[in-house]
Structure 1
Amino acid sequence: MSTSTVLYDHPGPRARVRNRVLSVVFGVGLVALLWWIYHKFDQAGQWEGWLWKPFTKPTTWTQFILPALGQTLLAATTGMVLSLAFGIVFAVGRLSDHWWLRMPAGVVVEFFRAVPLLIMIFFIFYGVPFLIQGPVSAFWAVVIGLTLYNGSVLAEAFRAGIRSLPGGQSEAAYAVGMRKNQVMRLILVPQAARAMLPVIVSQLVVLLKDTALGYIVAFPELLQRGVNDLAANYGNIVASAIVVAAIFIALNSLITMLAGWLDRRTRQRAFRTPKQTAAPGPTTPGGAAVAEPQG
């Protein structure tokens, strides 16, 4: 009996009818909601051609949207790499056998998870210069804030993934003489990353969207350039917001598709059976192979 049969009972005739009725009701309600939104925007004149005409001009894309998209992707990519590294390091730190590593790592993770990201970016940009006696660029204020917050969340995800693995794997690794850093690096962390991939992807999507908080320090990302500056020039704030939202949806969809492809590829490698090799034949004392007798 398969696991899916145990965990999931196929609906009967009444349940299938009920599911179809609920699907139709939900679909009709969704269409009605979309029509109501369209109608209200139409009454407010938000579908007028002159509001959308700027997006047909190449200068709109080359001066506002594409440069802002580049800055958003650069900040998001840098933040993703640093957040993943931060999460792995502090997850391992929280699982350390030494209290002088485990306790500070826990304090750091809990602190940066509790502080709102907007306040963190604001403090890094305006407060840290008083400590280091030098300015902090808007780009690094956003990236450091994203790293500290999302890295702390990912640290808890990695820690939960590592703790969810069977304890026998660690015991077997210790039995063959592996050290704890080798067990973490070679056995536990790769499996935890694969098991927690949906959570990791969800957090990376949140990180990409959180780049929009860079407007508080005038970071030239999509919200700042693609909505505020563009609407200030053309007076089409709703149209600009819709276009920018569509770009964010497309980017997040690409991240989800990439994560799905990566998950399928890692699973295929994990369950791939090794090729069978021929057993070596008998050899002479000098190492030469003995020919098989002909039948």
Structure 2
Amino acid sequence: MSNKPHSTVLFDALGPRGRKRAHTASLVSGVVLLGVLGWAGYALYEQAFFEQSRWVNPLDVLIIENAWIPALLSTLQAFALGSVGALVLGVIVGMGRVSRFKVIRFLASVYVQFFRAMPLLLLIWIPFTIDGALGFANGMGIDQDGRRLIYLVFGLAVYNGAVLAEILRSGINALPPGQAMAGHAIGLRHGQTMRLIVMPQAIRNMLPAVLAQLVILLKDTALGYAITYPDLLHEAQIIGRDYANSFLQVLLIAAFVYFVLAASLSKLVTVVERKTARKVPKGTRPVNPAPDMGQAGTLA
């Protein structure tokens, strides 16, 4: 067997001298990184970062019951409502992207391109600010927390709905064209073909990408901090203000909670990908979780 290094798609494999240099650079980088971490740890130790009271105080039972748990529930509430709204909009707009009617395809494309191009923070902040000036929510008897929840969910839904619409379009277009042709060949109408043949397969193929986007939506709930929605990040700021010496510790606690939530959803994504990978029909192209923003095709 030849000892010549194999080439990869992106670059030629390193030879003996190149591998030696790469190993040396990796070793030096590792030593430097350990040195930086050691210096940072010592600096934090000098500032009493690891002192027990700085961690215990933010985790007092009363604070957990009156601050952390309500904040966690508020975060999960925004995530649940935002996910439902995003899924509904994603299905509606995604079906519009593959509609037989040019006007519907155009409108759906405008929606996707506009909201995917807009920063999510603006989609939350602008409606909230407009309502603050005009008082729509107050006129309907909605309290301040409810008002903040509405506009946080609105921003999460319209932005992630645009992303999910593209995922749905990609899931449909990834199917072999013969699937839709077979439906038409046996006399099914376009709607029946989509509902009975195309959509069940597309949903199975795109489910991992949808769940991955919902993980992003969960983390995006932290943007509710900008409108003082009482989520984890906002409550962490309040707790950190009460315990000024533990402000960094409080933020790390909030980050750990976000990590646990996101890791749990990510684990679900991995399980779903593993199960659906065994069932993907041969010849079906994988769904791209970040599809392009070009004009969607239509089914025959």
Pairwise TM-score range, normalised by the shorter structure? 0.7 to 0.9
Residue number in structure 1 paired with 2:256: 246
My pick for the range that moved more, 48-57 or 30-39, is: 30-39
Deviation readout 1:237-265 (Å, 9 max, x if unpaired) = 11011111111111111001112222333
Residue number in structure 2 paired with 1:281: none
Counterpart residue identity of residue 224, structure 1: H
Residue number in structure 2 paired with 1:234: 243
CA distance in 2, matches of 1:34, 1:250: 24
CA distance in 1, matches of 2:35, 2:216: 29
SS at match of 2:50: coil
Q: CA RMSD in A?
A: 3.1
In 2 relative to 1, CA 158–51 (structure 1 residues): closer, same or farther, beyond 3 Å?
same
Q: Map 1:36-75 to 2 at 5 A.
A: 36-75=39-78
CA distance in 1, matches of 2:22, 2:200: 40
SS at match of 1:194: helix
Deviation readout 1:175-225 (Å, 9 max, x if unpaired) = 112222233233333333333344323321211111111112211100001
CA distance in 1, matches of 2:39, 2:166: 42
SS at match of 1:97: coil
Q: Map 1:112-151 to 2 at 5 A.
A: 112-128=115-131, 130=134, 132=136, 134=140, 137-151=147-161
In 2 relative to 1, CA 170–131 (structure 1 residues): closer, same or farther, beyond 3 Å?
farther
SS at match of 2:122: helix
In 2 relative to 1, CA 124–22 (structure 1 residues): closer, same or farther, beyond 3 Å?
same
> Which runs of 5 or more residues in structure 1 are unaligned?
1-6, 272-295
Among 264, 271, 279, which residue is 1:261 paired with?
271
Counterpart residue identity of residue 171, structure 1: M
Among 156, 167, 189, which residue is 2:199 paired with?
189
CA distance in 1, matches of 2:275, 2:253: 33
Contact 1:92 1:184 in 2 (8 A): no
In 2 relative to 1, CA 233–173 (structure 1 residues): closer, same or farther, beyond 3 Å?
same
SS at match of 2:225: helix
In 2 relative to 1, CA 100–241 (structure 1 residues): closer, same or farther, beyond 3 Å?
same
Contact 1:158 1:189 in 2 (8 A): no
Residue 98 (1) aligns with residue 108 (2): no
Bigger Rg, structure 1 or 2: 1
> Which runs of 5 or more residues in structure 2 are unaligned?
1-7, 282-300
Residue number in structure 2 paired with 1:108: 111
SS at match of 1:177: coil
Residue number in structure 2 paired with 1:283: none
Contact 1:87 1:155 in 2 (8 A): yes
Aligned residues: 265
Q: Cα distance, 1:21 vs. partner? A: 7.1
SS at match of 1:96: coil
**Structure 2 length as normaliser, TM-score?**
0.76
**Structure 1 length as normaliser, TM-score?**
0.77
Residue number in structure 2 paired with 1:286: none
Contact 1:139 1:219 in 2 (8 A): yes
